[in-house]
Structure 1
Amino acid sequence: MARLLVTGGAGFIGSNFVRYAIARTDHHITVLDALTYAGNLQSLAGLPENRLRFVKGDIADPQIVDELVRDTDIVVHYAAESHNDNSLADPRPFLDTNVVGTFTLLEAARKYDTRFHHISTDEVYGDLELDDPQRFTEATPYNPSSPYSSTKAGSDLLVRAWVRSFGVRATLSNCSNNYGHYQHVEKFIPRQITNVLRGVKPRLYGQGLNVRDWIHADDHSSAVLTIIERGVIGETYLIGADGEHSNREVVEKILVLMDQPRDAYELVTDRAGHDLRYAIDSTKLRTELGWAPAFGEFDEGLADTIRWYRDNETWWAPAKENTEAFYASRGQ
Structure 2
Amino acid sequence: MRILVTGGAGFIGSAYVRAVLNDEYAGSADASVTVLDLLSYSGNVANLPMQNPRLTFVQGDIADSTLVRDVLPGHDAVVHFAAESHVDRSIAGALPFVTTNVLGTQTLLDAAGAARVGRFVHVSTDEVYGSIAHGSWTETWPVAPNSPYAASKASSDLLALAAHRTHGMDVVVTRCSNNYGPHQYPEKIIPLFVTNLLDGMPVPLYGDGGNIRDWLHVSDHCRGIQLVLEKGRSGEIYHIGGGSELTNRELTGRLLQACGADWDLVRPVADRKGHDRRYSLDITKISDELGYAPRVGLDEGLASTVTWYRANRDWWEPLKTRGAA
TM-score, scaled to structure 2: 0.95
Structure-1 separation of matches of 2:51 and 2:322: 32
Aligned partners of 2:42 and 2:185 also within 8 Å: yes
Aligned residue for 2:132? 128
Structure-1 separation of matches of 2:263 and 2:201: 14
Aligned residue for 1:329? none
Aligned partners of 1:127 and 1:278 also within 8 Å: yes
| Correspondent of 1:94 among 85, 94, 97 | 97
Aligned residue for 1:309? 309
Structure-2 separation of matches of 1:207 and 1:257: 22
Aligned residue for 1:240? 241
Aligned runs of 1:36-185 on 2, under 5 Å? 36-44=40-48, 46=49, 48-114=51-117, 115-129=119-133, 132=134, 134-185=135-186
Q: Which amino acid aligns with 1:303?
A: A
Structure-1 separation of matches of 2:41 and 2:65: 22
Q: Deviations over 1:292-316 (max 9, x none)?
A: 1120x21110011101100111111
Deviation at 1:113, TM superposition (A): 2.0
Aligned partners of 1:185 and 1:323 also within 8 Å: no
Deviation at 1:14, TM superposition (A): 0.5
Aligned residue for 2:288? 287
Aligned residue for 1:28? 32
Q: Which amino acid aligns with 2:9?
A: A
Aligned partners of 2:201 and 2:265 also within 8 Å: no
Structure-1 separation of matches of 2:247 and 2:51: 39
Structure-1 separation of matches of 2:323 and 2:270: 16
Range with greater deviation from structure 2 (116-125 or 313-322):
313-322
Q: Which amino acid aligns with 1:65?
A: V
Q: Which amino acid aligns with 1:27?
A: A
Structure-2 separation of matches of 1:109 and 1:169: 10
* Structure 2: runs of 5 or more not aligned: none
Instruction: Please give the root-mean-square deviation of Cα atoms over the aligned residues, in Å.
Output: 1.2
Deviation at 1:259, TM superposition (A): 2.1
Q: Deviations over 1:209-259 (max 9, x none)?
A: 111111000000000011101111111100001111111111100111222
Q: Deviations over 1:70-126 (max 9, x none)?
A: 121100000000000000111110111000000011011111221211000000000
Structure-1 separation of matches of 2:5 and 2:140: 27
Deviation at 1:137, TM superposition (A): 1.1
Deviation at 1:263, TM superposition (A): 5.9
Aligned partners of 1:253 and 1:262 also within 8 Å: no
Q: Which amino acid aligns with 1:97?
A: T
Aligned residue for 1:206? 207
Deviation at 1:65, TM superposition (A): 0.7
Aligned residue for 2:257? 256
Q: Which amino acid aligns with 1:124?
A: V
- 1:237 is paired with a residue whose SS is strand
Aligned residue for 2:192? 191
Range with greater deviation from structure 2 (219-228 or 15-24):
15-24
Structure-1 separation of matches of 2:50 and 2:136: 38
TM-score, scaled to structure 1: 0.94
- 1:113 is paired with a residue whose SS is coil
- 1:17 is paired with a residue whose SS is helix
